[in-house]
Structure 1
């Protein structure tokens, strides 16, 4: 689910970030651990279950 938000920058210009998503904190923590270990390749985020899941074929990503 995409977060619908408007932000104001330091020059008082407003903008709508397009790369912000609502994700459970435990998924963010898991993703950070996978990035650090280098194992993030092969995982996808499943919005329906709100979990990172291992993709069966990493080459299809």
Structure 2
């Protein structure tokens, strides 16, 4: 399993979180720096939702080397 990047924000509904997923997948700034390979919605213990993604491995390796 990789190192998840947690997207800022907690959402009241799964729909709001999925909207954030679409934004993460489409955002050029994120794709240039982290290029998500997998984006998912997860549920918090309090019933709210968050978004996280896995960046490509080559991006992680470069970040660790710096």
When normalised by structure 2's length, the TM-score is: 0.30
Structure ranking higher on relative contact order (CA contacts 8 Å, 6+ apart): 2
Q: Which has the larger radius of gyration?
A: 1
Query: Higher helix share goes to which structure?
Result: 2
When normalised by structure 1's length, the TM-score is: 0.32
